[in-house]
Structure 1
């Protein structure tokens, strides 16, 4: 369905949901025409399949009320008043794209009557009463929550408390922590070792292990002046490109970054990588967080001085377009409602730590957010068109037939094509267009012939979709166009309609656009011609918002310290956890805003504090009084995340490529379905290929995975290994943040170590300890290859076994081995060399053992 039709249908949803006097306004002639010419035909020919009595109505289309006729079904609006050409009912009764009634065609007079009826404005007396919803949450309850609940009160600047041990604190942060410990009679912790502190700094700020050169310089500096050594290292790490890659990945977790739609019809997002790079660059540039937030919500509406800035802001709105989508949804109105719900949920949880989406179907059960406030926000987002799908070609926008819902993409104002997009010569372009016209001729021929199999129709439609995708990405000269995902404002702004129980067929009253009242001191002003999205974006980063600064400060604290001051990072509501140090949270939130919303300044403050460098030493008395370490009497031991583990192995082997790759593996693959239907799960697809003939398997593999097999020399096993190896990206040497994030098809190196679910807002990753992780470190080809490479690297530089062991510990664990460790490792090397298996490279076995040990995977 065209974007124009979708806008018309959404407008109809608003219009038909209003209490109206349409029945009273119909003229006698209009009523008589409907009752004598239209209703009898609908009852006799249509109600059997398209009415409430039909039960599971076909195509989601009901024709037994005015409202449902205007809403239409899965393919679009059945009736568009005054526009018979846009009304699918007319197309169906003509037996064009649809065939209704299925067994016979209406008479010519009946078809003329329906056309005339729609030209008249589709007058229809079948109005139904509209229910008016009234919230059970009162204004007094909301006012009380604003005054009493901590998260809804603006952060206050609080002076750091006095502490007894004045020598221990290094910063104001430390004074808040020390005061809490002293109040409970708990001792203040001593500092960790220099190697432990450096390892924390490097992994926390860049996601990479310290190099031998960094270790040597930091150790020397620490011995002279620990504070100066930490400060200098922090500045070095903050200025590296690796900083943005590390902290950009943290943001991608909460932004539910993925490069496909997910679900049964899992279509790729070949331009999602633009948003990934935008996020990384924003953190490296220390873009003010209030601006960073606003661009992602309303970058298309913000002023821009240059086309380059305009491009960046358009890409930022990918945040609203990148969520998981059910392309199998037949009802376009349901799909639109679900899309808006996903955008509301992401925006409020990511920036406000509040789940407004809980009020979609009823008043929020725990927080003072009535259902009317949800639809006030829905009105803000419903006036934006979301672009996530295939670029439109001159022949129209097509997608594989399994995808009931699709969309287009945004053309960028600068030339920056996907690096993998195909360029066509004039002759190649002409040939593709000729093929497309030929496919259309075949399609028309199929419609006029009976007995054509459904499989043949589906195959032809998929071929058309494939050709359309090729033609869509190039201009008239065959050169690639530049696209991005994102949102664009619609021409006119309209309110949303409250849906009783969240059901699209139970509309109630219209709700003015706005922000949940419990979150604002006074309702924000939204002009009649404005959606309110820009106003929402500006409010989120303003001093009038009590939540955004707190939520972001809490996220940064969690990644640096290992536990948030508010442990429920996406839930600052009544069911979330209260802050362990509320005064500290407010203090840092105020300073964060006063710093110009500088994330680097915030990280610098935490990294140079005493509490950041304390040891993780166990104290029995402290544990008994504070078993969860809420007061921070010791450092939290943390497991490295999946990306850091993989990048650390690549760094130790010297194989890591620190240059950012252009695009992504998904961009290279293009527009395709990666799961479901014939292909199924990729590994399952490979198994199916194994059962086919070698020629058939080779062709399937080439089409599915892009591999070329030469001269029939590749064995079945070779093909299988190449395909499965490609899915896990074991041959890729770039940083893990650039690995493909295809929903439901994550690389093994990420998936086994609790990578964030790309379909959900994940502020806190799980930290499991499973047998699969141990097996991965023992058997995965990536681990084995990097162990061999690390051993080769060491052997080239050191001849003596003791020196080799020393280098292995430094590269993998960031420290020298103890005397006991050195002796045990030398003994192990001797056992492998003297009587062990000849198949094992002794030094590589040591390297792999270090990769597999707990100290490699944990920050102490």
Structure 2
């Protein structure tokens, strides 16, 4: 008998039905039957391995409470009331696919009694007492917060203030900034030099340094008309595909983009790259942000005019599926609850700047979000199935040997397969089908032979699953199918039960599906036959929501100015930072919505302002008055992020490949498991560790052999030979490329709106010793030498390519003297220039925007 695991989210519905049956109060006869025939057997034969009291919960299965008996362990529900064939306890006590108790079989009478008990509906008096929930947050508290707290009020229209120095502002944005500075008696900053403004614009808009041609053109235009020069450059870069690559990476930070599950069992996501490309394309197309929101939360429920649009909508929902997952979790219901919790946390923090997940176990400690509001949202998210794992298989999936929790993928309605997926010829398809048939016959013979051990049966079943998995990923002609991660609506939505202390075995009353009350002027209507996810997505992506526009405006401001108007980018609650310029934040939020939620128009509005172009000149009096530069009396110096540093090195050397790669290195590697720094093919692992498995509850803890597929990926994790843009580097959780990790790459398991900016010795050592830096320094020197022969010209070219400016007289003299001394020592004309290039890469000016 081959076991088919229930889909993770569907397990919620199964459990709800089971509890509905089991919640019926046992009759006196049933109660007597349980106490005399069932409980004694469970206590004597099962509790030592499957109870909290015994301190041993093998396979994640507990049989000492009704709820945990129905939930089951890693293999599924132990008991399905009224259904013998679906109850794993029944097959186990009959020693069919597993032997429980393992040392001896129960007596025929005990087996018959347990079978009768299951058939009568598994009446069980061991029901956990429901604790009545009483919130510490009153309706009055919520209504007061709606009226008094800035984030819960809708953005208020305002007129840009008048200022004394009327010549300084270029835009309405500048009037808000200047008004605050004048009120604080702080001077208005002067403009930065043209080369600094251009470098700032280029990196902010595309993540790349300006080219020598752009530097010359900009300088000429700026000399006659600075406003025109800036506007023309901004427009050209907004139309550049590099804009989407730069700003798409910003979004991937908050979307916790990663190409594996993370954790001890770290399974790869070979189809995550589709979401990466969707995000980049969305920013390049200037997709309205409200539509962008709705597609990621409920793309599978939105209307589509074509298969291509439908496929794009499905890929968009990868946002909900791509979070990190604890595949070690034995309990499927706990796993599903944790997945929903991660989705709630990401959705509310990314789009609303609010952490609703803090109310999972109790009322929110600081914001007016009662625990009931959390479970109102949980009902919405539990009404869908999350697809993140392997392609579906008729006979199961080899994912069963990879982890305790598995999942399939969505089939796209277009012909767009993973570029590395393999197809099969007609003869290969026939051979696969024949192998499956042969193994099924072998499995039948094994079940009828008591001398065959459990390990042999499991080995055969997994071979069948492996063969079936190969067959399942192609169509009837052997061509690869197209898959993506994402979500789908469950057929029967239901309300979630409030869990006391967040524990799944302490369910309370069901909470109607909805959105936290403090965020809505009136409840969002959800139909009984709808999960509410589409209604939630449309509300979040609308001007009826007081937070979505503000949160996105604040993110864009932060990326361009260096710090947000609200510095706590994911926390607009009471423990977050209040806005430094609340009227400006509301003004920009309203303008953002009026523009059609256009990100590009908002970026243009900010980058053409006077405040964007000011210098970073230090002023002691201003610093004493405003040490954090909250009022923007000068520009914020910013270190380039890891992607911009790597891309700038490649651009300076002339080696950068601006053509996006198809897929990713993870897609090439396929479905693999990471553990202890080594990725291994789970099927290969299974073959080596199957011996003696029946004597253990799981696989051994030894290091895995690296498969040839992972050896390829492992060699490429630092991507020393890759020249495409950094946004396309593999993002394997816990296995980040060194060039990303050392410069504070965003943690792919968390929502990161503001990256850390450290300055460490490791960064200096990276610039001194890393093969990328060394090889690109050589390439840059060769590039310069190919078109400039004189050392003086070579020094100038190196400074322009690396720093966006020519050297000063002192820098030129010192560099030429250094090159001459090195050349005389080593006898090589190329090495001195290469070392100069590397020194420029290692300089603070290269790594920082001034």
In which range does the TM-score fall when normalised by the shorter chain?
over 0.9
Q: Does the 8 Å contact 2:388/2:408 carry over to 1?
A: yes
User: Secondary structure at the residue paired with 1:342?
Assistant: helix
Shift of 1:468: 4.5
CA deviation after TM superposition for structure 1 residue 444, in Å: 6.5
Q: Find the aligned partners of 1:71 and 1:511 in 2 and give their Cα distance.
A: 21
Q: 1:789 to 1:438 in 2, by over 3 A?
A: farther
Name 1:595's counterpart in structure 2.
595
Deviation at 1:215, TM superposition (A): 0.8
* Partner SS state of residue 421, structure 1: coil
Shift of 1:109: 4.8
1:531-610 aligned at under 5 Å gives the runs 531-610=531-610
Is the counterpart of residue 703 in structure 1 residue 705 in structure 2? no
**Residues 191-202 of structure 1 mapped to structure 2, 5 A cutoff:** 191-202=191-202
Structure 1 position 460, deviation (Å):
6.7
Distance 1:469 1:820, change over 3 A: farther
* Deviation at residue 587 of structure 1 after TM alignment: 0.5
Q: Distance in 1 between matches of 2:822 and 2:195?
A: 30
Aligned residue in 2 for 1:750: 740
Give the whole-Å Cα distance in 1 for the aligned partners of 2:556 and 2:312: 24
Q: 1:397 to 1:20 in 2, by over 3 A?
A: closer
Equivalent runs, 1:845-860 vs 2, <5 Å: 845-860=835-850
- The answer to whether the 8 A contact 2:21-2:81 is kept is no
Q: Residues of 1 paired with 2:587 and 2:614: CA distance?
A: 21
Once residues 845 and 51 of structure 1 are traced to their aligned partners in structure 2, the CA distance between those partners, rounded to angstroms, is 66
Which residue number in structure 2 is paired with residue 616 of structure 1?
616
Q: Secondary structure at the match of 1:628?
A: coil
* CA distance in 2 between partners of 1:158 and 1:2 (Å): 60
Contact 2:423–2:474, Cα closer than 8 Å, also in 1? yes
Measure, in 1, the Cα distance between the counterparts of 2:415 and 2:747: 33
Contact 2:678 2:706 in 1 (8 A): no
What's the offset of the Cα at 1:39? 3.9
Aligned residue in 1 for 2:722: 732
- Cα distance in structure 1, aligned partners of 2:606 and 2:662: 33
* CA RMSD, Structure 1 to Structure 2 (Å): 2.5
- Paired with 1:829 and 1:468, the residues of 2 have a C-alpha distance of 64
Counterpart residue number, 1:170: 170
TM value normalised by structure 1? 0.92
Q: By how many angstroms is 1:38 displaced?
A: 3.7
Q: CA deviation at 1:80?
A: 1.3
Corresponding residue for 2:13?
Answer: 11
Tell me if structure 1 keeps the 8 A contact 2:287–2:598: yes
Measure, in 1, the Cα distance between the counterparts of 2:674 and 2:648. Answer: 30
CA contact (8 A) 1:95 1:105 kept: yes
- CA 1:426–1:77: 2 relative to 1, 3 Å: same
Following superposition, the deviation at residue 437 of structure 1 comes to: 5.2
Deviations 1:130-170 (A, max 9, x none): 22211111111111111111111110111100000000000
**Residue 811 (structure 2) aligns with:** 821
Deviation at 1:470, TM superposition (A): 3.0
Aligned to 2:783: 793
The answer to whether the aligner puts 1:773 opposite 2:768 as a matched pair is no
Which region of structure 1 is more displaced relative to structure 2, 407-416 or 76-85?
76-85
Q: Decide whether the 8 Å contact of 1:9 with 1:70 is kept in 2.
A: no
1:439 CA displacement? 5.5
Counterpart-to-counterpart distance in 2, 1:834 and 1:678:
46
Once the two structures are overlaid, the 10-residue window that deviates more, 640-649 or 132-141, is 132-141
Match of 1:719 in 2: none
Aligned to 1:842: 832
Segment drifting more, 333-342 vs 472-481? 472-481
| Contact 2:7/2:407 (8 A) holds in 1 | no
Q: C-alpha distance in 1, partners of 2:642/2:446? A: 51
Residue 504 of structure 1 deviates from its aligned partner by 1.2
The within-5 A match list for 1:382-781 is 382-399=382-399, 401-436=401-436, 448=449, 466-676=466-676, 703-705=708-710, 725-781=715-771
Structure 2 counterpart of 1:140: 140
Q: Note the C-alpha offset of 1:819.
A: 1.2
Correspondence for 2:698? none
Q: CA deviation at 1:459?
A: 7.1
Q: Which is further off, 65-74 or 636-645?
A: 65-74
3-state secondary structure, aligned to 1:122: coil
Residue in 2 that maps onto 1:130? 130
- The answer as to whether partners of 1:14 and 1:495 remain within 8 angstroms in 2 is no
- 1:101 Cα deviation after fit: 2.0
- The CA deviation string for residues 166-223 of structure 1, in whole angstroms up to 9 with x for no partner, is 0000000000000010001111011001111111111001001101111111111101
Instruction: Give the Å deviation of 1:429.
Output: 2.8
Quick check: 1:183 aligned with 2:183? yes
> Does the aligned pair in 2 maintain the 1:328–1:402 contact within 8 Å?
no
Q: What corresponds to 1:241 in structure 2?
A: 241
In 2: Cα distance, 1:674 partner to 1:850 partner: 37
Q: CA deviation at 1:677?
A: 9.3
Structure 1 residues 641 and 538, CA gap change in structure 2 (3 angstroms):
same
- 8 Å Cα contact 2:48/2:56 also seen in 1: no
Post-superposition offset of 1:506: 1.4
Number of the residue aligned with 2:371: 371
How far did residue 110 of structure 1 move? 4.1
1:37-75, CA deviations, whole angstroms, 9 ceiling, x for partnerless residues?
Answer: 544433443334334432333323233333232222222
Cross-structure match for 1:82 = 82
Task: Tell me how many residue pairs correspond in the alignment.
Answer: 827
User: Alpha-carbon deviation of 1:346?
Assistant: 0.3
Q: Is the 8 A contact 2:393 2:465 kept in 1?
A: no
**Contact kept? 2:188, 2:633, Cα under 8 Å:** yes
Residues 845 and 676 of structure 1, relative CA distance in 2, 3 Å threshold: closer
**Cα distance, 1:15–1:428 mapped onto 2, change above 3 Å:** closer
CA distance in 2, matches of 1:7, 1:576: 33
Worse-matched range after superposition: 33-42 or 508-517: 33-42
Q: 1:83-133 CA distances to partner (integer Å, 9 max, x unpaired)?
A: 222211112122122222222223445444434443333333444432221
**Residue in 2 aligned with 1:711?**
none
Match of 1:207 in 2: 207
Specify whether residues 17 and 736 from structure 1 end up closer, same or farther in structure 2 by C-alpha distance, changes over 3 A only: same
**Which one of the candidate residues 819, 823, 826 is aligned to 1:833?**
823
Higher mean C-alpha deviation, range 728-737 or range 58-67: 58-67
**CA shift digits 1:571-610 (9 cap, x unpaired):** 1111111111111001001111111110001100000000
Contact 2:744 / 2:757 at 8 angstroms: preserved in 1? yes
Shift of 1:3: 6.0
Q: CA 1:514–1:97 in 2, change beyond 3 Å: closer, same or farther?
A: same
User: In 2 relative to 1, CA 799–65 (structure 1 residues): closer, same or farther, beyond 3 Å?
Assistant: closer
In structure 1, the residue matched to 2:287 is 287
8 A Cα contact 1:300 1:488, kept in partner: yes
